[in-house]
Chains A and B, each alone.
Chain A
């Protein structure tokens, strides 16, 4: 799952070293355009439904936080 996520992120912003970043949202590395594109990709790839309530910086600041969100949503079905 992590590899697939990193692949999606790389497609989105090739120049960012995602695994090293800890404040992707707080530091403005990913903007709202990126987030909307990313959410659409994640929903399609992992068969989940990320909604507006999930769009908190804490859920997107790091790769691990994104993975946790995906796992949580997959469990909730």
Chain B
């Protein structure tokens, strides 16, 4: 069931009614049943994978929780008669037991994801290598179906297991409630990747019907539909046109296709998040923010702190920190310090961890070399910007540039936008080689006349469509600026009188209906991140 469908709207209305009519004690059960019904629509056979991952995560969580409780009890009981060394030894023993549980659970959960998502990619590449060295290279490729949201719920399950290993909270002891945490329908398809301590409790406790909250939730849903249907699906038309057959295009046309794809993904993904958050808000559940106006970022690293925030923070907490603070990386740092000096020795473990993070972010998006290149592109920019920071500072000082004014911030934002857009060649290009070719041709053939000779009118959109895109971007820009300044727009709308409020609501609905870009047969295209 797609967010952009009449069946989804009917489903939400029925679920919301059932939720608020049900006695408090069973409200969470409505969400559980509703979420499984929603997920079941994606293919009943694929539900097995989700239930299996839920089971593995739940029972390994129980095991970890029991180990935590037993060790805390033991240490408390023997507080007086254990020496510091004995305590340390006991803690180490407990830690290695917990590590075994975590390793098993992570290998199983991640193994399913890796097998289903990457088996064919790995097999194809091994076959290629085997052929090159003179072997047959006939590892068979499999017809594998990817369960909806597997890349999201697998990360969610790993976070839960590792948090329990770290003793951050107690395990869930109710399998059905825990299942709800794993399958909660607004976020199962494309996130946000929730942490147990952020979401689970909100799902389990009953929420009362609150008029203001419900209307605010509906506004957010409407806003999400506007982003997706008016902007994302409209920009998609020329973007697909160019990326499907890039050969006849060059220069600015290629660059704008990549930049347009960046905007399309943003409107598409953040629109989906708004719908998920809006539906949750109606139910009284606050999902974490996944976007904070990424195109206002002044650097690529800031961009990644504002873009797909829950993936970034997941990578930070479960990959970047553990890697860069590991003993192996500390030893590496010490050794490189001897060879390359203090500065490089200190930075190298962090840089290496950062590269690994971005490689993982890249391949998380899909099994293709282009995603590896996408990860590397971002990693290289971030690492080089840190390495070159002293040089930049010197240049700024020499040229006496004022860094405290709007024009400097604007320059930083424009620079980030351009760098991000070039990265989009990799995430959207058909293959890695096509992406590199488009990247080169975008730079090599500057052709500003395409803005005036009608080139853009041959890409599937009319003048009217470009006006709609322009006005939409302007509206999103104004809203973004207001949000950056801390203005709560929905609260401001709520303060207005009835007539004005309803004018805005009806205007938004009409805009979605009239200006929404509906594909052939009036079926909107699916969300981009749904495929990941």
Contact = CB atoms under 8 A, between A and B. Distances in A.
Contacts of A33: 301, 350, 354, 386
Contacts of B168: 53
A63 B386 CA distance: 25
Interface in B190-247: none
Most buried by B among A31, A32, A51: A32
B388 to A, nearest CB: 14
A6 interface: no
B55 interface: no
A contacts with B: majority SS: helix
A51 B305 contact: no
Contacts of B353: 36
Nearest to A56: B168
A47 to B, nearest CB: 14
Given A52-B166, A53-B167, A77-B84, A36 B305 contact: no
A28 B304 CA distance: 12
B84 A36 contact: no
A39 B301 contact: no
Contact of A36 (B167, B301, B324): B324
B408 interface: no
A52 B346 contact: no
B316 interface: yes
Contacts of B325: 36, 39, 50-52, 55
B43 interface: no
B320 interface: yes
Interface string A31-44: 11101110110000
B246 to A, nearest CB: 36
A37 B305 contact: no
Nearest to A49: B325
Contact of B305 (A31, A35, A40, A77): A31
B321 interface: yes
B166 A37 contact: no
Contacts of B346: 37, 40
A28 B306 CA distance: 11
Interface residues of B, number: 21
B321 A32 contact: yes
Contacts of B350: 33, 36-37
Interface string B88-114: 000000000000000000000000000
Contact of B322 (A35, A40, A52): A52
Most buried by B among A40, A52, A55: A52
Contacts of A55: 317, 321, 325
A63 B320 CA distance: 23
Contacts of B305: 28, 31
Interface string B343-371: 00010011001100000000000000000
A31 B350 CA distance: 12
Interface in B349-401: 349-350, 353-354, 386
A8 to B, nearest CB: 13
Contacts of A37: 346, 350
Contacts of B333: 40
Interface string B309-328: 00000001100111011000
Nearest to A77: B84
Interface string A42-77: 000000001111010000000000000000000001
B301 A31 contact: yes
Interface string B72-83: 000000000000
A77 B330 CA distance: 20
B156 to A, nearest CB: 19
Nearest to B382: A33
B321 A52 contact: yes
Interface string B153-179: 000000000000011100000000000
A36 B321 contact: yes
A50 B353 CA distance: 18
A35 B350 CA distance: 10
Contacts of B321: 32, 35-36, 52, 55
Nearest to A28: B305
A53 B84 contact: no
Contacts of A31: 301, 305
A60 to B, nearest CB: 12
A5 to B, nearest CB: 18
Nearest to B351: A33
Contacts of B330: 40
B331 to A, nearest CB: 13
Contacts of B386: 33
Nearest to B330: A40
Given A36-B320, A37-B346, A53-B167, 5 more contacts: A31-B305, A32-B321, A36-B325, A51-B325, A53-B168
14 contacts: A28-B305, A33-B354, A33-B386, A35-B321, A36-B324, A36-B350, A37-B346, A40-B330, A52-B166, A52-B317, A52-B321, A52-B322, A53-B166, A53-B168
Interface of A: 28, 31-33, 35-37, 39-40, 50-53, 55, 77
Sorted from nearest, which 3 A-B pairs have the closest CB atoms?
A53-B166, A36-B324, A52-B321
